[in-house]
Structures are given as structure tokens and as C-alpha cells.
Amino acid sequence: MCGIIACRTSAPAIDYLLAALHRLEYRGYDSAGVAVRTVAGDIVRLRTVGRVDALVRLVAGWAGAELDGVGIGHTRWATHGLVTEGNAHPLCDCMGRISLVHNGIIENADRLREALALSGHRFSSTVDSEVLCHLIEDQLMIASDLNDAVQAALTALEGSWALAVLEERTGRIVVAANRSPLIVAHTGAGDF
Ligand code: GLU
């Protein structure tokens, strides 16, 4: 069973994300990843088919812009698609404007993928979860508010999900759940 984590913290988010992913390891997983905003406003995605310790090493080797206090993370237990770095979460839309971590199964993913591909979307993984990235991408063209876009995109889905979506432009995170558990908490260090 996989796990997701998202946070907006006053200290660098990556420390909380990695600590949370370590805590989720007992559930079992085949790959792990994070997407973190930089102080320059870009999103950095780091993913591995190794253990969380391998992700820690990837983060330690990051030599780009300083990482900020906003990010999402995932330990994956593959249900759709091989265990590869490209299939590890966070997944993103065509332009990399949103990153997403998902726990669960999108039951109508094949049908949605076909329709999205026909309308011009480019898929970079074979994971069911990626259809949601592109559904949100479409919705963001209609309504620029991330919360509205995620809510509208979710109406097309059948299945189960606990998910977190991070938007590059605003640094906003939206979370949602349906038949998968999700806890939201506010602490002195920030929101989780
Ligand atoms: N269905 C998604 C995948 O195959 C999420 C699996 C999970 O809950 O870890 O990546």
C-alpha cells in the first residue's frame, strides 16, 4: 500500500517529506518520489525505484535552486504500469504545471487516457493516475483556480483516491479523498 504526504511549512518542506516517507515505508512500496517548489518558483521532481534512502541521496545531490517550504511526496505500490522511474509519482501534466501524488486506483483510466490522447495530451507514464493530471490541465484552461479545476476533474473519475496536487504557478496544494484515507493537520510548523 502506498502513501502520500503534502506540506506547506516554515522550514524546508523536503525535511518533512523525507521524514514522512520514511514513516510510510512499513506499508511496503516499489518506488518513491517528491516534488518540491524552489525559492525561484519552479518545481523540482526527484524520483527513484530505490528505497527512500536512495531518494535522500538524490535530494542531497540536488545542486539547483534552494528548495522552499512547499512540496508533495509518495511511496508507490504499482497497480497500473511497470515499476520504473518514469512511472513513479509525482506525475505531471503536459507542461509540468501541476504535479500529483495519488494513492488508489482509477478504474476508468483506460477510457479517459484514450480520450485525452485523442484531444492532444501527451502521456509520459503508463500509470492510471496520470489521467487526472491531464484532466486538471484541461480544467485549468477553463477556470484558473486549482481547487475548482481539481473538483471538476474528479467528477470524471471512477475508483478510489487520496491525492495531492501541487501547482507550480501559485505554489498551491489541493488534496482530495474518496474511499482512501487522508488526514489534514495544522501544526506550529505548518500544514500537512
Ligand atoms: N494506481 C497508482 C499507480 O499504479 C497508485 C498506486 C498506489 O496506490 O501506490 O501508480
Gap from CA of 154 to ligand 1 centroid (Å)? 16
Whether the Cβ atoms of residue 20 and residue 4 lie closer than 8 Å to each other: no
Whether the Cβ atoms of residue 97 and residue 134 lie closer than 8 Å to each other: no
Question: Residue 63, SS3?
Answer: coil
What cell does 161 get?
A: 483516491
Residue 24 Cβ contacting ligand 1 at under 6 Å: no
Gap from CA of 102 to ligand 1 centroid (Å)? 6
Gap from CA of 188 to ligand 1 centroid (Å)? 31
pTM, rounded to two decimals? 0.97
Gap from CA of 173 to ligand 1 centroid (Å)? 19
**Alpha-carbon torsion 12, 16, 18, 19, what sign?**
positive
DSSP code at position 183 = -
**Nearest residue to 21 (alpha-carbon basis) of 71, 85, 73, 68:** 73
Interval 179-189: pLDDT, tens? 999 999 999 99
Mean pLDDT of 54-83: 97
Interval 82-133: pLDDT, tens? 999 999 999 999 999 999 999 999 999 999 999 999 999 999 999 999 999 9
Counting ligand 1 atoms within 8 A of each CB, the residue from 74, 84, 102 with the most, and so the one to mutate, is 102
Query: Can you tell me the distance from the alpha carbon of 166 to that of 110, in angstroms, rounded to the nearest whole number?
Result: 24
